[in-house]
Structure 1
Amino acid sequence: MIAKIGKGSNMYGAILYNQQKVDKENGTVLLLNKIPDTVDGRYSVAYFNKCFEPYLSANIKTEKTVRHISLNPDPADKVSDEQFMEMAQEYMERMGYGNQPYIVFKHTDIDRMHIHIVSTCVAIDGKKIPDDYDHPRSMAICRDLETKYNLQKATDQEQKQTNKVFKPVNHKNGDIKSQIASVVRYLPKYYSYNTIGSYNALLSLFNITAEEVKGERNGQPVNGLVYVALDKNGNKVSNPFKASLFGKDAGVIQLQKHFEQSKEKMKINPARSVLKNTIELAIHTTNSETDFKKQLVEQGINTIVRRNESGRIYGITFIDHESQSVWNGSQLERNLSANVFNDWWNNGNKPELKIQDKVNEIDNLPTQDLFEFLSQEHSLNTDIGLFSVLPDAQGVDYEEEQFAKRMKKKKGRKL
């Protein structure tokens, strides 16, 4: 089981993202902890948001007060709602959030059943719950839950990731050839990527770029590859090195084979659903490119943005280090294409969640009344709101549009 811990400042956005699933019958509210139930068992974003207000207003110094956690069992695991609730309670208790208000949502819009937990790190007395060792503690809890509920183990995958560490090229250290070799010789053994663009996106993390070289030799077409070192700003700082210097895995022929193998593996890679979900949440809980990238980095995901000379975004790639796979935005989903992010970060048109927020009389309950209720020392485990839902179909996988094609269209419009 894989746990993702998101830390942000937009409580309304985190609740809205999950409640949208419920309102579209792609999710359900499984469990409420330290949150009063409603008379009719119906909830709205405004109501849930108000339940957190006493906590959020008690501490104005902490910037990232929101905790948004997803627990993702393997698709082969069969987990009942009762087990999901038990796992959520044990996880939150051991993470130090047992006395915090939190909502457990179950998502059913993809084949991988998983839960999302929305909470806050601010206690009722205004003190921040320590989170310095969240990641190792979370991993240990997941290993215990895997054993307790007989789930598929993620240990092997995590161990492979921690055993191999690649270092970025530093041209100031000299021996650039050896530094490049230590990356390109072994990268294909650990990561899946299916285009030269996604390969270069991954290489850019290590201050390297690969360039195709085409020409003729003795009347025969030649198609090769060279590698160049980059500085921290992406500028070339070395002469090109032929791929043949780094072994067959670094050359064009072997790379093409790797692309084809990766395409097949990524079609059935369950990490795609988790990654898509994580990216969509980051869109709706951040307000800038910097915050968006930072939130994803905290969850082991790098965002590589490609811009043309005028600053227009024509490509976006996500590198998930946990699943060790590289995805173009539109390959994950149409609403994650480069155009969507260009419209947001360059034109100010942020993608919005469009739902009808169900408002009822309880939304008008004064915050003071809620504060008194939440301060009471009694359990709300029996007040569970359940919804009957039907799973929806998965989204379609869309290919990234070619930049050259876009530039042709752009030139055509200028004429």
Structure 2
Amino acid sequence: MVAVIHQSKHLRIALNYNEHKVKNGQAVCLEAGYYPVGPEHLSFHQKLRRLELLAELNQRTKHNCLHVSLNFDPSENLSDERLREIAAVYLEKIGFAGQPYLLYKHEDAGHPHLHLVTTNIKPDGSAIRMNYLGRDQSEPARKDIEQLFGLVVADKQQKRQVFQVQPVNAAKVLYGKTETKQAINNVLVKVLAQYKYASLAELNAVLRQYNIVADRGDEKSRIFKYSGLVYRVLDEQGNKVGVPVKASLFFAKPTLKFLTEKFEANKLAKDEPKAKLRLKNVIDLYLLNGPKTLDGLMAHLKTKGIDMVLRYNEQGILYGVTYVDHYSKCVFNGSVLGKAYSANAIRERCLKTGADEGKKQNGRMAKLARDGQGTRGKTREDRPGIFDAVGGYQGQGLVETLLDTSGTAEVMDWDLKRTKKKKKKVRMSM
């Protein structure tokens, strides 16, 4: 079993996502825990209002919605009653015993899975702490439940595969607006909430991996003039196809105004040295020995869960690069990582041969030995980064770190290091 946790402040969005699946015959509501009647007797607003009444008791808590998916191995054929038991035990073990919840069984994926929607606000107005909920409560609960119910034990590969968003198949959504909207919405629900992007270009770097693009239109268009936004499906060649759908028509309202607020919040959220460190070191290690190509680098990064999105102008000249890390869910422009990771720098680094790199490094090492000059002239932002357990984030990459002597004493000539004998002072007697 694999548990995937989402925390937010949008109870309505979480509930609507599941109810929409029910409406389309892709899910069924199995349980309305701690509700006065069963789910078959509750309307959408009654289900929502029960949770909202509790959430309104605490206005200070930033996240008051817990949306969890419990995913099982495809070989497991669990009855609805067994699924209800598993969900109840899971909620109890993570500290949500007695909280009202809605349980949905989804049948729209290649493996059986449940969705749980609840709130962390108790009837007395206090909030259940959700800091490190996945690590401290959910993971031990998962292991206990696997043993208790004899479930297939989840391995690392299963955890990575669970809920990977599938690219939209353009050929299947050209029938009309409804099909297009649903296909786009399935991607947006995952991407908008999970990834850390700080601009429309960074968001589109992610969306394009799933054949979707957020489009402001031409600068002279009416939609651009009035800060509008539409979402469109892309074909395999990256061309826009099908019917454009206005952002305001989606339930989550992912408009330009909404995204602008997300951009600001994400700038702080992804400003984490370790996230940049992973990208830099993967690139540095690959480019350590040449010759390399951009295509080769892109293929290598993809094996590490990283997409490198190149941007070309109308003349076909490369002018930008964006890195999408699907593990950390962070999106970075190359220039943000440092000059060594910008589009032009990466292209130049790929063109260098291993022999050229070796000559330069040997020459630099010899120069360092002679005059002790390191890399003090560079700023941290200009240098690729690694994390030093002693000194913290040093802002250097693997290659430069091996060559950097700025943290050591300068090399002194042997003649200067010899200690001179002190001359005895001669006192004159009167």
Report 1 or 2 for greater relative contact order, CA contacts < 8 Å, sequence distance ≥ 6: 1
The structure with the largest alpha-carbon Rg is 2
* TM-score, normalised by the number of residues in structure 2: 0.44
TM-score (normalised: structure 1): 0.45
